[in-house]
């Protein structure tokens, strides 16, 4: 078994069929599709069951209770048997042939993790637009890949950009952080830091669906959303402090600074209702010293300058993003 595709699903009856249909190009004898039912109440489970009935390499794993995306991903990881694991969100559309080629490249190069590109899929129009660029690399230590991508401005933390060698994840105790948003940030950076062999490939393996009801859009501005930002910064900052001085540590500190500033950026990006925006602004004001500290020690002059503005005036800081966003 070469590849396990882990697909948590919850309340996605409108999208899960397209996600599963797109996996048809994966060779059934060398791949398994693990559909993790996180106890939704819509028709998603029936769609998943019908798919499994027609595809012997697919099966449903029903959780005893709803636990959120991270818990469902961990459930799938525990059940996986493939040499490599791919975490796929059930509302996105994978490009199976490219995913399979990425898996083969990872096996041939004996990679702990292999990273590729994605594009955006507009849910309303069906339009596809380019996602973040990626600089292809030879085989590198993961910390060097993290540093190279942060230096080039192409680092993205999403786990659905990568296939991971399952034994590597198990040996290093790498699992999704449960109970938080932005769980990908807390998985991807530690994985890269621990990877001995990693590489990036200029191939699109996923169409990322942009839709109003997504997890990020649903929680934007909430107390959980704000608290998750602070906890992610604290955990990654603690990880950075365990690393020796060098490019990987500098890259991670820069990333922490970027995340710390994202609270203000996303208050503008999500165009929050006034009440929710007010709550998010209150959080920003209450935690501005903590968040600005991460930015000021990021090692990046532009990030540090924004951190200084946050300290001076959270209102001006958020207003800066409003002026530059369409």
Read off the CATH number of the domain in which 140 is found. Answer: 3.90.550.10
Q: Can you read off the two tokens belonging to residue 252?
A: 């991670």
Indicate if 160 and 300 belong to the same structural domain: no
Here the tokens at position 170 are 């198990």
Of 184, 215, 246, the one marking the end of a domain is 215
CB-count burial class (<10 Å; 0-12, 13-18, 19+) for 108: exposed
Do residues 224 and 280 both lie within one domain? yes
**Are residues 282 and 183 both part of a single domain?**
no
Q: From first to last of its 326 residues, what are the pLDDT tens digits of the chain?
A: 999 999 999 999 999 999 999 999 999 999 999 999 999 999 999 999 999 999 999 999 999 999 999 999 999 999 999 999 999 999 999 999 999 999 999 999 999 999 999 999 999 999 999 998 898 999 999 999 999 998 888 899 999 999 999 999 999 999 999 988 889 999 999 999 999 999 999 999 999 999 876 656 666 667 778 888 889 999 999 999 999 999 999 999 999 999 998 877 777 766 677 787 788 888 889 999 999 999 999 999 999 999 999 999 988 888 876 654 44
State residue 326's pLDDT score. 43
Residues 52 and 152 in one domain: yes
pLDDT at 324: 46
184 and 246 belong to one structural domain: no
DSSP secondary structure string, 181-246? S-HHHHHHHHHHHH-SSEEEEEEEEEEEEE-TTSHHHHHTTSHHHHHHHHHHHHHHHHHHHTSPSS
Instruction: Tell the burial category of 214 from Cβ atoms under 10 Å away from its Cβ (0-12, 13-18, 19+).
Output: middle
**Can you give the pLDDT at residue 294?**
95
Of 215, 234, 267, the residue that ends a domain is 215
Per-residue confidence (pLDDT) for residue 270, from 0 to 100: 67
Of 215, 233, 264, the one marking the end of a domain is 215
Residue 227 is predicted with a pLDDT of 83
Answer yes or no: do 139 and 120 share one domain: yes
Q: Are 92 and 20 in contact (CB under 8 A)?
A: no
Geometric angle at alpha carbon 275, from 273 and 278, rounded to 5°: 105
Same domain, 179 and 227: no
pLDDT of residue 254: 95
Cα distances from 241 to residues 62, 245, 297, in angstroms, run 39, 9, 12
What domain count does the chain have?
Answer: 2
Task: Identify whether residues 210 and 308 lie together within a single domain.
Answer: no
Q: How far apart are CA 3 and CA 82, in angstroms?
A: 5
Q: In this structure, are 185 and 260 located in the same domain?
A: no
What are 205's two structure tokens? 């393996």
Task: Indicate whether 70 and 194 sit together in one domain.
Answer: yes
pLDDT reported for residue 320:
77
Q: Any long-range contacts for 212-215 (C-beta under 8 Å, 24+ apart)? A: 212/123, 214/91, 215/69, 215/181
Residue numbers of the domain that contains 60? 3-215
So what's the pLDDT on residue 88? 98
């Amino acid at each position: 078994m070469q590849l396990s595709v882990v697909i948590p699903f919850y309340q996605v009856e409108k999208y899960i069929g397209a996600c599963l249909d797109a996996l048809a190009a994966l060779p059934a004898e060398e791949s398994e599709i693990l559909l993790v039912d996180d106890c939704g109440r819509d028709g998603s489970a029936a769609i998943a069951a019908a798919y499994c009935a027609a595809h012997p390499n697919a099966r449903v794993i029903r959780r005893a209770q709803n636990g959120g995306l991270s818990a469902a991903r961990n459930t799938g990881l525990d059940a996986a048997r493939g040499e490599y694991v791919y975490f796929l969100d059930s509302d996105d559309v994978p490009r199976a042939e490219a995913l399979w080629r990425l898996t083969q490249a990872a096996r041939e190069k004996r990679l702990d993790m292999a990273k590729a590109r994605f594009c955006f899929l507009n849910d309303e129009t069906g339009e596809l637009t380019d996602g973040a660029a990626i600089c292809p690399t030879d085989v590198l230590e993961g910390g060097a890949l993290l540093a190279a991508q942060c230096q080039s401005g192409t680092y993205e933390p999403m786990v659905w950009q990568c296939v991971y060698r399952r034994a590597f994840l198990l040996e290093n105790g790498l699992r999704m952080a449960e109970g938080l948003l932005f769980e990908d940030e807390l998985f991807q950076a530690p994985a890269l830091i621990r990877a001995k062999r990693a590489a990036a490939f200029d191939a699109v393996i996923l169409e990322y669906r942009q839709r109003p009801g997504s997890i990020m859009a649903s929680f934007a501005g909430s107390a959980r959303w704000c608290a998750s930002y602070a906890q992610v910064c604290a955990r990654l900052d603690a990880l950075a402090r365990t690393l020796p001085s060098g490019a990987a540590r500098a890259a991670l500190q820069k990333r922490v600074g970027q995340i710390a500033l994202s609270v203000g950026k996303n208050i503008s990006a999500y165009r929050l209702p006034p009440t929710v925006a007010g709550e998010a602004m209150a959080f920003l004001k209450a935690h501005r010293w903590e968040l600005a500290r991460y930015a000021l020690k990021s090692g990046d002059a532009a990030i540090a300058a924004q951190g200084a503005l946050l300290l001076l005036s959270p209102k001006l800081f958020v207003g800066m993003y409003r002026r530059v966003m369409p």
